[in-house]
A and B are shown apart, each in its own frame.
Chain A
Amino acid sequence: MDYFLDEEQLMIRDLARQIALEKVLPIRAELDEKEEFPWDIMKTLAQSDFFGINIDEEYGGLGKGGFEMGLVIEELSTACLGVSTTFAANSLGTYPIQIAGSDELKKKYLPDIASGKKLVAFGLTEANAGSDAAGVQTTAKLEGNEYVLNGTKQWITNGGDAEIYTIIAITDKTKGARGASAFVVDKGTPGFSFGKKENKLGIRASSTRELIFENCRIPKENLLGKQGMGFIIAMKTLDKSRTGVGAQGVGVAQGAFDAAAIFAKQRQQFGAPVISFQAVQHMLADMATQIEAARALVYSVAKFIDSGAKDVAKASAMAKLFATDVAMKVTVDAVQVMGGSGYMREYPVEKMMRDAKILQIYEGTNQIQRNIIGQALIKETTKKK
């Protein structure tokens, strides 16, 4: 379908597609097998200006929005979700600086992020704080001109490979959720180390590690926004990033669908290509329809957010929820359409199926997305009375 992208949006999408086809697709199986971090691809994306897409021009970016970022993430995801996760995690980690950073912090960090010189990671999740983000136990204590961080973050995408970390830590235990604050921490700061690289079901090209803070001292100027704003910053960050996860869902589903459709046309059974059988046609028809519906929702919500709308939690949760549930269903069905071949490593869809599962889990499980939508519905209904 034609979404009437403008000339620059087409340029962005087409170049991202070219990189996905020429640089990502040929090595995706190897990256998955070896669990290898895609440095070469990140270098290409940096050289082609993709890291700066939604960073302001005054900091060296292109000044585009989450919609354009989503186009890039979608294209990369059609080839490899591990690569697109590595790329998209930068945007996730950068939002806190864009949302709440002082001019000094923006000047210090955004140019290196926009040029792709430094990768970024976002550190919220902990052993006892996942869906319940308020369970964060990492602390940050102000001592003179420094905050002292202690605690461990878990399952952090780009952990160890990124140079810049945006971290949520508790500055006042007595205040609950209002006692959290957000900080920027540089790799190499004494007292900041990493745990082992996790071995994952999917998105194996992306790296996932623990961040360990042991009396890690950072300048107090590295506080993002004001003390106590940590959760608001984290929630605003997730509101913005969720359409990116939705775009990942659309992309991986499209990649799996394309592989399955081509296979169904070539595979002969009972003297005819299997695509000629209604049982297969109907599966493909459902898959294609679901993908288009997911894309339409993700695009609309991304544009809604870019318009500067204030209350976007419900819409962004819907985009993430729907598109990633579609991704799971479509990738499973793609394996089914391809039968035994689909189950084999020789074909790309089993990897896509393994990769897709994370989309229903990270950046808020799809159950949490339903909670967010539900809470918004309650609020809306109360207003109507």
Chain B
Amino acid sequence: MNIIVCVKQVPDTSEIKINPETNTLMREGVPSIINPFDLHAIEAAIQIKEQTGGKVTVLTMGPPQAETSLRESIAMGADEAVLLSDRAFAGSDTWATSYTLAKAIEKLGADIIFCGKQAIDGDTAQVGPETAEFLNMPHISYIKKIEDVTDSSIKVQRMMDEGYDVVESSLPVLLTVVKELNQPRMPSLKGKMAAKKAQITTMGMADIGADENSLGLKGSPTQVRNIFAPEVKAERKMIEGSPEEQVENLLKELKEIKCI
């Protein structure tokens, strides 16, 4: 079983400060960490490897210093690491990022691809599913439990607002995971020693056979106009009056919307 885990190096949000003049994140001097959701993805991959055998490869796109995240992944138990780094990749939006990751995954080959459900800096949750689309591969997002894995299929629980769906898919498949899936392990000492010595493969535009016009800023159709937290559309209604009246009105309301 070949498993690829896509990880992203993000600023540690617990340490982050906002520039009061520009209202943007001050990234200078902020420690970088592996996106927390990706740790659950790494854990899931290692658990499957421990069960079925095979190889876990971590994949990231980023500047050379993103290598730290890859070494941390190896310390947890990943076998190999690939860094996608090229000036041509700079300025990628989720579309260009997904395209780049997909091209690399095509080259590397995988039965299962794991991603965290979203990154804590951008919060889009788009890269996982978009990568699957570029690969023309099924994807299941927000998985909270892996029920069964065979050589050719996987059965998982997908978290929904209320309850969960049980979804079965053929392999290869791309999965995005939520933190309910597992408890990421601590690194091991042997893993840390291996991570120190590990050879990290770096791949650029030519190595993955990507089209220059689909990469980086050039390949990014997104234009950010405004960033805001979307409005929550849940309705709320206060029922007033004496307790008796409140009960009566509540029952009426519930009957009206056919709840009871």
Cβ A49 vs Cβ B189 within 8 A = yes
Contact partner, B193, options A11, A19, A22, A23, Cβ 8 Å? A11
Cβ B193 vs Cβ A48 within 8 A = no
Q: Which residues of B contact A12 (CB under 8 A)?
A: 189
Query: Residue A62 at the B interface, CB < 8 A?
Result: yes
B137 to chain A, nearest CB (A): 32
Fill in one digit per residue for A16-38: 1 if any B CB lies within 8 Å of its CB, else 0.
00110011000000000000000
Cβ A49 vs Cβ B188 within 8 A = yes
B46 to chain A, nearest CB (A): 10
Cβ B186 vs Cβ A11 within 8 A = no
Known: A11-B193, A62-B190. 11 other contacts (CB 8 A): A8-B193, A15-B186, A15-B187, A15-B189, A15-B192, A44-B185, A47-B185, A47-B186, A48-B189, A49-B191, A50-B189
Q: Which residues of B contact A23 (CB under 8 A)?
A: 186
Mind listing 9 A-B residue pairs with CB under 8 Å? A8-B193, A11-B189, A15-B189, A23-B186, A44-B186, A47-B185, A47-B186, A49-B189, A62-B190
Q: Give the docked Cα–Cα distance between A15 and B75 (Å).
A: 11
A125 to chain B, nearest CB (A): 32
Q: Give the docked Cα–Cα distance between A8 and B197 (Å).
A: 12
Cβ A47 vs Cβ B190 within 8 A = no
Q: Which residues of B contact A49 (CB under 8 A)?
A: 188-191
In B168-189, the 8 Å CB interface with A consists of: 185-189
Q: Give the docked Cα–Cα distance between A22 and B190 (Å).
A: 20
Cβ B186 vs Cβ A19 within 8 A = yes
A17 to chain B, nearest CB (A): 11
Q: Which residues of A contact B193 (CB under 8 A)?
A: 8, 11
B53 to chain A, nearest CB (A): 18
Closest B residue to A18 using CB positions: B186
**Which residues from chain B sit less than 8 Å from chain A, CB to CB?**
185-193, 196
B54 to chain A, nearest CB (A): 19
- Does more than half of chain B's interface fall in helix, strand or loop, or is it mixed? helix
Q: Which residues of A contact B192 (CB under 8 A)?
A: 11, 15
Closest B residue to A47 using CB positions: B185
Q: Which residues of B contact A11 (CB under 8 A)?
A: 189, 192-193
Q: Give the docked Cα–Cα distance between A50 and B188 (Å).
A: 8
Q: Give the docked Cα–Cα distance between A8 and B186 (Å).
A: 17
Cβ A62 vs Cβ B189 within 8 A = yes
Most central of A11, A12, A50 by chain B CB within 10 Å: A11
Q: Give the docked Cα–Cα distance between A15 and B186 (Å).
A: 8
Q: Give the docked Cα–Cα distance between A50 and B192 (Å).
A: 12
B146 to chain A, nearest CB (A): 19
B217 to chain A, nearest CB (A): 39
Q: Which residues of B contact A62 (CB under 8 A)?
A: 189-190
In A118-170, the 8 Å CB interface with B consists of: none
Q: Give the docked Cα–Cα distance between A53 and B191 (Å).
A: 13
Cβ B189 vs Cβ A47 within 8 A = no
Q: Give the docked Cα–Cα distance between A15 and B185 (Å).
A: 12
Q: Give the docked Cα–Cα distance between A48 and B188 (Å).
A: 4
B42 to chain A, nearest CB (A): 14
Q: Which residues of A contact B190 (CB under 8 A)?
A: 49, 62
B194 to chain A, nearest CB (A): 11
Q: Which residues of B contact A48 (CB under 8 A)?
A: 185-189
Q: Which residues of A contact B185 (CB under 8 A)?
A: 44, 47-48
Closest A residue to B190 using CB positions: A49
Q: Give the docked Cα–Cα distance between A11 and B185 (Å).
A: 17
Q: Which residues of B contact A47 (CB under 8 A)?
A: 185-186, 188
A183 to chain B, nearest CB (A): 31
Q: Give the docked Cα–Cα distance between A62 and B193 (Å).
A: 10
B78 to chain A, nearest CB (A): 15
Q: Give the docked Cα–Cα distance between A206 and B111 (Å).
A: 44
A245 to chain B, nearest CB (A): 23
A196 to chain B, nearest CB (A): 33
Q: Give the docked Cα–Cα distance between A11 and B196 (Å).
A: 11
B33 to chain A, nearest CB (A): 13
8 tightest Cβ-Cβ pairs between the two chains A and B: A49-B189, A48-B188, A49-B188, A49-B190, A48-B186, A11-B192, A47-B185, A44-B186
B14 to chain A, nearest CB (A): 14
Most central of A22, A48, A50, A62 by chain B CB within 10 Å: A48
In A252-300, the 8 Å CB interface with B consists of: none
Q: Which residues of A contact B191 (CB under 8 A)?
A: 49
Closest B residue to A14 using CB positions: B192
Closest A residue to B185 using CB positions: A47
Most central of A7, A12, A15 by chain B CB within 10 Å: A15
Q: Which residues of A contact B187 (CB under 8 A)?
A: 15, 48
Closest B residue to A68 using CB positions: B189
Q: Give the docked Cα–Cα distance between A11 and B189 (Å).
A: 8
Q: Give the docked Cα–Cα distance between A15 and B188 (Å).
A: 8
Q: Give the docked Cα–Cα distance between A7 and B195 (Å).
A: 13
Q: Which residues of A contact B196 (CB under 8 A)?
A: 7
Q: Give the docked Cα–Cα distance between A22 and B186 (Å).
A: 10
Q: Give the docked Cα–Cα distance between A19 and B188 (Å).
A: 11
B9 to chain A, nearest CB (A): 19
Closest B residue to A23 using CB positions: B186
Closest B residue to A8 using CB positions: B193
Most central of B188, B189, B191, B196 by chain A CB within 10 Å: B189
Q: Give the docked Cα–Cα distance between A53 and B189 (Å).
A: 9
Q: Give the docked Cα–Cα distance between A11 and B186 (Å).
A: 13
Q: Give the docked Cα–Cα distance between A23 and B185 (Å).
A: 11
B44 to chain A, nearest CB (A): 15
Closest A residue to B189 using CB positions: A49
Closest B residue to A7 using CB positions: B196
